[in-house]
Structure 1
C-alpha cells in the first residue's frame, strides 16, 4: 500500500518532529492486508532515520505497536490506520517519541493518578469522524501512564470479531474485554467514567465572573469570544465543548467556509476561544441557577460559580422515539449517526425514521452502502427540502412510507424488525430489517431550568431581541432558545447577541471587571 507523494511529503514533515527513536513491532502473515501494512511500515522506516521495524507476533494480525527503544508503549493499531485514523497514527508516533501531548496539566495529573492496570480496545470504522478523538484520547492515556494500554481495531479488517461481539455502532470501546462505552467520548469524560473526576474543591477559589457562559457549542463559544474581547472576566462551563456539532460530518452552510466537518469546526472554535483569557471548565454540567446579589450557577459536583451575568447556551440533543426497543437495542441496531455507523450495515436492510432534512440526507447516504432503505415519516408529506426529496425518490433501493407512526423496535440480541401503524388506515405493519437510524430532530437541554426561567411548550428558553430571559442578568443563545431556526450560523450570531446584551446590561448596572488580554 504505497502512499501518494503528497501524503509522503506531509508525513516526512511530521516525522522530522520526532524527539526520540521508535521501534514499530509488526505482526503480519501472507494476506493482502498484511502486505499493505508491511508496505506502510517500510514507508515509515524509509521516511525517518529514527524509525526501525521489527517483525513480531501480536494478538491480532495484521497489527503493529508503536514503541520507544527498549520500552513497550502499550499502543497498538490492528488494521491500517488510514482515512480519518491517519492523524491518530501521526500523533501516536510523535507522542511516543517524547513529544508532549497538548493536554492541560490538570488532566495529565488525573491520568497519572490511575494505579490500576487497564487495557482498552476501540473498534472503529475508517469513515467514522468521531472515532479518531476516542483513539487519540486512549493513546494519550497510554503514553502518560504505563498502567494503561490501548488497541485500535479497524472493523473492516476484523469483521468476524466485530460480528461475534455484535458491534453495530462505532466507536465501540472495551475495557479488559468487557464493554465500556459506545459513541464519541472525550478524554475528560473517560476520566470521569473511570472515577478520576474533578471535585468541587477545584472551583472554590474562583473569583466571580462578569460573564459566565453555560454551554460550549457554537453559541457558547461565540458568546465567550465576544465577551472576552470586551476585556472582561469570562468563563465557560461546558458538558462537552462543541456540543452536537461534534457529531456532525459535513457542514456546507457556514457563510465564508465552503465546506468543513464537525470535529474540525469544533477544533477551530476551541482554538479561537484559547486566544483569549477565558476560563474553560470542560466536562462540567450545570445543575441549578439562582439569582442573588450575583447569579449563582451550581454544578453537578456541588461547586458554586458566581457571575454578574450568565449566558445559557446548553444546546440540544437527539430526540428519541420513546418506543419499546429503542433503548434495549441502542448500539445493537438502533443508531443516530449514519456517517459513523452506516458502514457497519453494508448489504443489510435498514430504516430511517424522520422525513426532515436530516432524515432524508441520512437515507440518501445509507442508500449507497446498505441493501435497502425504508424511510418512515409520521406525517402525510416529507418536510425535507425539495431538492433532497427529488434525489431520494430517484434512488432504486429506497422506499418512502408516509403516515407511519413507529410503535416498536424488536429483535433478539440485535434488531430484526420495526413495527409501525399507518395513521391513515389504522393498520399495523412490520418490516424485517437489521438497523434503525433515528433522525427526528432535537430536544433542548433545559431540564435543569424548569420553574426558574420562562420557557415555551417545547422547553425552549424564551428570549427577547437582546437574547435576555425573564431573569435580569441571565441571557440565552442558540438551540436551547425559541429562535425560529436551529442552524450553526444562527447560533454563532445568537451567542454574539447574548454577549453584547450581557455587556450592555452590566454597563447599566455596575462596571465590569477589566482583565488583561
Structure 2
C-alpha cells in the first residue's frame, strides 16, 4: 500500500517543479522499526522527479562510516546531498509534520536557495569552526518543522555546520541523554547551547553564536 496519497503526490510534484539540480538521498538502514517505511517513502518521492535519486545503504557500510551516519547506533538515517553537501541530515523517518519540511529541504538543496536574509548569510559565512545542531522533534509537533528547516538552512549556507533532525521517540536513549522534555529542543555542539521552541532565524543564529562563544 502506497504511503503517499494522490493528494500528497500532486502537492509534491508541484513543489518539486522548482528543482533545478540533482539531489540524492542516502538512506542508511539496519533492522530498525521505520527503516522500510523510510525507504518506501523515498522511493515514492523519487517517482515524482527525475532530479531526485535514492540510494539505500546498510548502516554498517563504508559510506555510512564516511558520513558518520552510524554515530547513534541505529537507523533510519537520511542525508540529502547535491554531491557536495553533507550537513542536511535526518535521524528518523521524515513523515508526519516533518514531511513538508523534508520536501522543502529537497528543493532547497536542489536550488541552493535557502531564503535566508543576506545579513544572516553573511554572519553564517563567518563561522569557521565545526558546529553540530541537533533538533529533537516528534512527528506530531506542529512547530518542529520550522526549527528543522532553519537548522538545515544554516547547514546549506556553511559546510562547517551539520544539522540533524532527531525523532525523539525513535532515538529514545539519545533523547534521555539530552534531557528532552519538550520539542522542538535544539542542542548546539551537544551541551554548549540549548533552547526549546521554533525561534525566528535571527534569534536562532544568536543562539548558535552564543554557544560558540
CA-to-partner distance for each residue in 1:452-477, whole Å, 9 max, x for gaps?
xxxxxxxxxxxxxxxxxxxxxxxxxx
For 1:359-411, what per-residue CA distance to the aligned partner results, in whole angstroms no more than 9, with x for missing partners? xxxxxxxxxxxxxxxxxxxxxxxxxxxxxxxxxxxxxxxxxxxxxxxxxxxxx
Which one of 200, 203, 212 corresponds to residue 186 of structure 1?
Answer: 200
Is 1:138 the equivalent of 2:151?
A: yes
The residue that corresponds to 1:129 in the other structure is: 142
User: Counterpart of 2:111 in 1: which secondary structure?
Assistant: coil
How many Å apart are 1:154 and its aligned residue?
0.8
Q: What aligned pairs does 1:431-446 form with structure 2 within 5 A after superposition?
A: none
1:161 aligns with 2:174: yes
Native 8 Å contact 2:32 2:75 kept in 1: no
| Residue matched to 2:21 | 20
SS in 1 for 2:133: strand
**1:188 CA displacement:** 0.5
Q: Per the alignment, in what secondary structure is the counterpart of residue 66 of structure 1?
A: strand
Higher strand share: 1
Q: Which residue of 1 aligns with 2:12?
A: 11
Structure 2 CA distance for aligned equivalents of residues 189 and 102 of structure 1: 16
Change (3 A) 1:38 1:159: same
Q: Distance in 2 between matches of 1:108 and 1:54?
A: 31
2:60 maps to: none
Q: Which residue of 2 aligns with 1:61?
A: 75
Is 2:209 the counterpart of 1:195?
yes
Q: For 2:96, which of 83, 108, 126 is the aligned residue?
A: 83
CA apart distance, 1:147: 1.0
Unaligned runs of 5+ in 2: 58-63
Query: Structure 1 residues 179, 168: CA separation in 2 closer, same or farther (over 3 Å shift)?
Result: farther
1:23-102 alignment to 2 at 5 Å?
23-56=24-57, 57=64, 58-59=69-70, 60-69=74-83, 71-102=84-115
Calculate the aligned-residue CA RMSD, in Å. 1.8
Shift of 1:164: 3.5
Do 1:23 and 1:67's aligned partners in 2 also have CA atoms closer than 8 Å?
A: yes
| Greater relative contact order (Cα < 8 A, sep 6+) | 2
CA distance in 1, matches of 2:192, 2:170: 20
Post-superposition CA distance 1:170-189 (Å, at most 9, x none):
11112222262222222201
CA distance in 2, matches of 1:64, 1:194: 23
Q: Distance in 2 between matches of 1:145 and 1:3?
A: 32
TM-score, scaled relative to structure 1: 0.36
Distance 1:26 1:33 in 2: 12
Aligned 1:267-306 pairs, distance under 5 A: none
Name the counterpart of 1:120. 133
Structure with a larger share of its residues in helix? 2
- Could you tell me whether the CA contact under 8 Å between 1:169 and 1:182 is conserved in 2? no
Equivalent residues in 2 for 1:363-512, closer than 5 Å: none
C-alpha distance after superposition, 1:198-220 (max 9, x if no partner)? xxxxxxxxxxxxxxxxxxxxxxx
Which of the pair has more CA radius of gyration? 1
Structure 2 SS opposite 1:47: coil
Where does residue 119 of structure 2 map in the other structure? 106
* TM-score, with length taken from structure 2: 0.84
Distance 1:191 1:22 in 2: 26
